[in-house]
Structure 1
Amino acid sequence: MQSALRVFLDCQGGVRGCDRTFFVQEMGYVNWVRDRFDSDVHLLLTSLNAANGGRQITVNFLGQKNYAGKMDTLVVTTLPNDADDVVRRNLLRTFQLGLAPFVARTPIATRLRVGLMNGVTAPTLNARSAKDRWNLWLYRVDGNINASGEQLVKTTNLSTSLSAARTTEQWKINIGGTGSYNERDFKVFVPNATTPTKRDTVSVVVLQRASNVNALFGRTINAHWTAGLKVSGGFSEVLNQKLAMRLSPAIEYNYFPWSEATRRQLTALYYVGPNHYRYYNSTVFNQIAETRFNHTMLLALTQRQKWGNTNLTLEGSQYLHDPNRNHVTLSGFVDLRLGRGFSLNFRGSASRVRDQIYIAANAQSERDILTQRQQLQTNFRYNVNVGVGYTFGSIYNTIVNQRFGNLGELGRRFGSFGG
């Protein structure tokens, strides 16, 4: 339909339930285009964690071309156990409502109908008015077992986590604990002790275990400022830490009001406090136990706009007993939509590392280095990814054809394109 409204769907950050194929099938009275520069309405979806464990999805209706300057915003809140079909149908209903004023200005407006289901609506409950026997607390328990192997290598991973959270407009409380067990079994061929021309198989087992408990308490001061406290304790064989305990008062400032958090954030976070360590092996600084103060500053910029999105973080920490023991990391990603069908993205991080006071003094064996049984000493870390993409062709083809949609593991080499 050349006269129908042209809509571009933009689900940034992998919004749950954003099923373009489903929306194309259910809303055939609009043209779903593949590029925002061809659209009359740009649907920009962003999401944040909700206090109930679900997500708060913000749908921005941004008018373009003949609809420039016309915009609206609607919000969908999901429950943590909502099925994907429930989420996408709630989004579908929201799209239909939000696009109605735009469709009303097209030639097909005479065929548009809006009404109420069964003629009634249910009152909306909020956290203040609802009687909640859990007093706004949300609990979660997770466990995971993963095993993989082949003839010479076997891997077993076990992990578990428990968490409790309570969120109000004034308070944010998160309490949790995690545990992990990683075992890798390598079969290594070595010369036979009596007959060197023969080889024996020796099993080499590498274990990595860790556990951690933590708590975060945050108190809203005003639209920009938040104060809090971070507490944690645990152990890690990889980091040579038999015991690690931390206590850090924190303060956070957001340049933009938190009401705009789904679209943009510019935050500065600072925390300082003592850290107590006990080590499995004496460190390179000849310590078997120590208590050190450190402080950390973190600057973060997050934007989700119709031209793309950015997420940049600059973090620096320093031990107060020795300013030379510090750590600086710059990380993030930038995803730009520069023109019709053309996209450019950067992702990566770079760290200057000079705070590994936990490194064991004893020389690491070749086996430890190859299996990364313990954290290796380093002065820097980095990773970089640059991507570019260009799509061209029909902007109106929204036909859905799922045939040959499952090619199996070996068939994935053929890839996929289109519907």
Structure 2
Amino acid sequence: MMAKNTLVTITIALFLLSNVAIAQNQQETDTLNGDQKIMVFLDCWRCNDSYIQEEVQFVDFVRDKEDSDVHLIITRERSGSGTEYTLQVLGRGSFLGQDNTLTYFSYDSDTDDEERRGLVKFVRAALFQYVSTTSALNQIEISYTSSEESLDVQRNDPWRSWIFEINGRTSLDGEESRKSIEFSGGLSAERVTKLMKTEIEYEYDYNERTFSNIDSDGNNNESVFITRSHRFEGNQVFALTDHWSTGLFTNARNSTRNNYDLSIGAGAGIEYNIYPYEQYSEREISFVYIVGAEHRDYTETTIYLEDSETLYSQRLSSRVEFTQPWGSISGRANFQTFMHNFDRNRFEVNMRLNFRIFRGLDLSLSGRYSLINDQLNIPAGDISDAEQLLNLREQFTSYSYGAFIGLEYTFGSIFNQAVNPRF
């Protein structure tokens, strides 16, 4: 038994030593060939990291910011016709103070492959100024393709920046004693420019759930539960200055779950951003104030004995977002109250934090909390067990909450350049 254990130990030791030798030999070969690469820390949420690392071979990607020569932060933001990526490049060590920012735009009409190829092109461009100071420049070729035709198409836009969308989704699942079908669809029109944003959207949702059971007499009993809703929103936002904007908002909805036969509302608001809007990809602290009116026709008489009513409300909200080398933090706070009774109000706060405590150790925190005192639409009468279990009807509550915490610690080799898709 002892001899067998000794043999296993020797085998493992030889395996580890062979891998160390291979790695050391590869490192020496790279040095002899003069392939002097800069080390890059890729900091990108919801990006295809593996694809970027596979396609950008003239740098070494490392897994910790402290080991990098360059810190590449990529953020993304939805716009009227696609997604805008902001590439913020921060120099470290010998490159300290040599920072740069590039912007890449991917249209909704781009396929996933076109989008990721376009992003990689801009990653290469963002890193080139740093690579040009190393011997790796000898292995890089630069090419340029002129496309006057594509430029003309962009200058002569017959749609005048309008983007239209029609969508529909359905799903079906079930088993012997139950089945469900869901359908949702909608229409939208959107036009976004630097000075104005117009959004029009309609959505329809339908959900049908059927349950069956066979009683002692052999009869098949079925229970069918249906929820449906319609929702329309129209928003018009105007840019006033680098820090101020204003907007007009309209909405209409119908919902069996929320006890609305019809609800129609309109409002106007103003927003102030402490930082210029052009810095949205790095930092934002904004405040919004909106006043509005809404007329409601209820499906059932409410707990306040109302079949219909007109309400006036005001809302104050704030948004904070920072994306920095140490991590990111975002938060939203919202306070809304009805004018006729300030006790009928709602306060909501959401926070998310990703923070690097020290080398290799990352902390993730998120949480939400709501104080709810504005449910004027709750129908009178008791809620059935089926309505409660299946969430068929909005239920009375004075608060809601949620929280998440996570820690991640990594150690080992600082390089993560290789991509291996096998198995």
Q: Runs of 5+ in structure 1 lacking a partner?
A: 193-198, 405-419
Q: Call closer, same or farther: CA 1:253–1:190 in 2, change over 3 Å.
A: farther
Shift of the alpha carbon at 1:125? Answer: 4.4
Contact 2:351–2:368 (CA<8 Å) still a contact in 1? yes
Aligned mates of 2:231, 2:152 — CA distance in 1 = 34
Structure 1 match to 2:107: 79
Contact 2:63–2:416 (CA<8 Å) still a contact in 1? no
Deviation readout 1:306-329 (Å, 9 max, x if unpaired): 211111011010011111100000
Aligned mates of 2:219, 2:326 — CA distance in 1 = 61
Shift of the alpha carbon at 1:377? Answer: 0.5
Is the helix fraction higher in 1 or 2? 2
Shift of the alpha carbon at 1:121? Answer: 5.8
- The 5 A counterparts of 1:44-83 are 44-51=73-80, 53-83=81-111
Kindly indicate whether residue 378 of structure 2 is the aligned counterpart of residue 359 of structure 1.
yes
Contact 1:297–1:317 (CA<8 Å) still a contact in 2? yes
- The 5 A counterparts of 1:104-123 are 104-117=132-145, 120=146, 122=148
- The 5 A counterparts of 1:297-336 are 297-336=316-355
Shift of the alpha carbon at 1:20? Answer: 2.4
Amino acid in structure 2 at the alignment position of 1:399: A
Aligned mates of 2:152, 2:264 — CA distance in 1 = 38
Contact 1:47–1:57 (CA<8 Å) still a contact in 2? yes
TM-score, structure 2 as length reference: 0.88
Aligned mates of 1:143, 1:356 — CA distance in 2 = 31
Of all paired residues, the percent bearing the same amino acid is: 28
What is the number of residues matched between the two proteins? 390
Deviation readout 1:75-112 (Å, 9 max, x if unpaired): 11111111122122222221222212211222434444
Aligned mates of 2:163, 2:262 — CA distance in 1 = 29
**Secondary structure, aligned partner of 1:281:** coil
Structure 2 match to 1:170: 195
Contact 1:170–1:220 (CA<8 Å) still a contact in 2? yes
Aligned mates of 1:342, 1:24 — CA distance in 2 = 22
Structure 1 match to 2:57: 28
Q: Call closer, same or farther: CA 1:371–1:26 in 2, change over 3 Å.
A: closer
Kindly indicate whether residue 276 of structure 2 is the aligned counterpart of residue 257 of structure 1.
yes
Structure 2 match to 1:100: 128
Shift of the alpha carbon at 1:332? Answer: 2.4
**Secondary structure, aligned partner of 1:78:** strand
Aligned mates of 2:358, 2:149 — CA distance in 1 = 45
Q: Call closer, same or farther: CA 1:317–1:188 in 2, change over 3 Å.
A: farther
Aligned mates of 1:265, 1:272 — CA distance in 2 = 23
Structure 1 match to 2:7: none
Contact 1:104–1:112 (CA<8 Å) still a contact in 2? no
Amino acid in structure 1 at the alignment position of 2:87: V
Q: Call closer, same or farther: CA 1:183–1:295 in 2, change over 3 Å.
A: same
The CA RMSD measured in Å over matched residues stands at 1.9
Structure label with greater radius of gyration: 2
Aligned mates of 1:70, 1:339 — CA distance in 2 = 24
Aligned mates of 2:152, 2:412 — CA distance in 1 = 47
Q: Runs of 5+ in structure 2 lacking a partner?
A: 1-29
Structure 1 match to 2:163: 138
